Amino acid sequence: MSYTETIGSRTYRFADLKTLLAKASPQRSGDQLAGVAAASEEERVAAKMALAQVPLRTFLNEALIPYESDEVTRLVIDDHSPQAFAEISHLTVGDFRNWLLSSTTDADALTRITAGLTPEMVAAVSKLMRNQDLIAAARKRPVITRFRNTVGLPGHMSVRLQPNHPTDDVKGIAASMLDGLMYGCGDAMIGINPASDNLAAITKLLLMIDDFRQRYQVPTQSCVLTHVTNTIAAIEKGAPVDLVFQSIAGTEKANAGFGISLALLQEAYEAGLSLKRGTVGNNLMYFETGQGSALSADAHFGVDQQTCEVRAYAVARKFNPFLVNTVVGFIGPEYLYDGKQITRAGLEDHFCGKLLGVPMGCDICYTNHAEADQDDMDNLLTLLGVAGINFIMGIPGADDVMLNYQSTSFHDALYVRDVLGLRRAPEFEEWLESMQITDTRGALLSASTQQPLLEGARDWMGIA
């Protein structure tokens, strides 16, 4: 089905829904690289006007990637709930935007329709929204998950403590981990990107974190971000695996490039569940995504990068994840060129994920060859804090010494919690207070008060 829109004396024609969605996207370098972006701002406006008139039902009848050749499309269609969709089935994309922003649409309403939404519907409506619309609508939709603590409660924001090391040195990782804990970070998880995929090294890291967690009774969860097959092997060897990690994308071909399928993710999910390591819940999958991953794998099939990204969230929600992280500026300026594009993508990803019922966090980041700086990250951090982000990254100095990119620091987490009044996961906050790291308000206590834990941890690390 084709779509048309006339502006003045010029009529714009869009061959199909896939083309219309791509042309309606805000400007970004990845879509230009793929050759699917609007050729002018006028064409972009025409596409938005045409898209606003498309009935939501259309997305159930016009697949962007054929059902027969893509298991993500099959997942989206097969898991769609007509009952949940009924409440909004009469709306166009433009009407849906107005419904989302209405003062009468609350968290209960957004939760009711979750199973009736497809990624394409959600991506479409985001293309009609300003940044403030994305913030306002996402803020209405908390997504709460539990493992050893509770993440995503309204008025709360958690932090993934990311103590990476370029050679996986256990003492170096432990020192960064302790540093982050002293700043009150780590309630989302303690998550290490290993420099090596060696199973023995991965197991050593898991054992180190678990030993520390048990010794000091820390109510958090750990994860070593290795390929899911390595995690399954670690589970089979009795390693203390909490969260099961995998990078995912929005098409079957892109996921195959990651060496995964829905069946393999199901196997990993069941392996994690079999350990029964959660104490307050059993959400245990940790997924990472990012706009441009399908394009970089030549697996986008002409679909714009943001719509491909939202399709990845349909994969994520299938497995009841504890955390989903859009690593928003990590892939590079070929996909998100500058601070403005990174900011827009971060707000889109958070909004779309939350609308689909996914517990969204964001690695607010950029690579050193992008046209962005830490001021851009401050802006996005503040906007996502207002929007109700579930978690962000906490990295020593905001500079990851293993992955070589710029993100957010322990101090950045203190800033956004302070200015927006955001609390940590309640179980973790109680622990921080009991360990005399923070006071009853969640504010950091002095270093002298923290000294007993520091001394004990030094002994545990074997540091004089």
Paired strand residues for 268: none
Q: What is the distance between the terminal CA atoms of the chain, rounded to a whole angstrom? A: 71
Question: So what's the pLDDT on residue 355?
Answer: 98
Percent of the chain with pLDDT over 90: 95
Q: Which secondary-structure segment (H or E) carries 357?
A: none
Span 91-141, pLDDT tens digits = 999 999 999 999 999 999 999 999 999 999 999 999 999 999 999 999 999
Cα–Cα distance measured from residue 227 to residue 170, given in angstroms and rounded to the nearest whole number: 20
What burial class does residue 426 get, using C-beta atoms within 10 Å of its C-beta: 0-12 exposed, 13-18 middle, 19+ buried? middle
Cα–Cα distance measured from residue 246 to residue 306, given in angstroms and rounded to the nearest whole number: 19
Question: So what's the pLDDT on residue 446?
Answer: 83
What phi and psi values does residue 371 have, to the nearest 5 degrees? -85, 70
Q: Which secondary-structure segment (H or E) carries 317?
A: helix 305-317
The pTM of the full predicted model, rounded to 2 decimals, is: 0.96
Question: What parts of the chain have a pLDDT lower than 50?
Answer: 464
Q: How many CB atoms lie within 10 A of CB 168?
A: 20
Query: Which of 353, 210, 195, 380 has the alpha carbon at shortest distance from 287?
Result: 353
Structure tokens at 430: 């109680």
Which one-letter amino acid corresponds to residue 367?
Answer: T
Question: So what's the pLDDT on residue 426?
Answer: 98
Question: So what's the pLDDT on residue 449?
Answer: 72
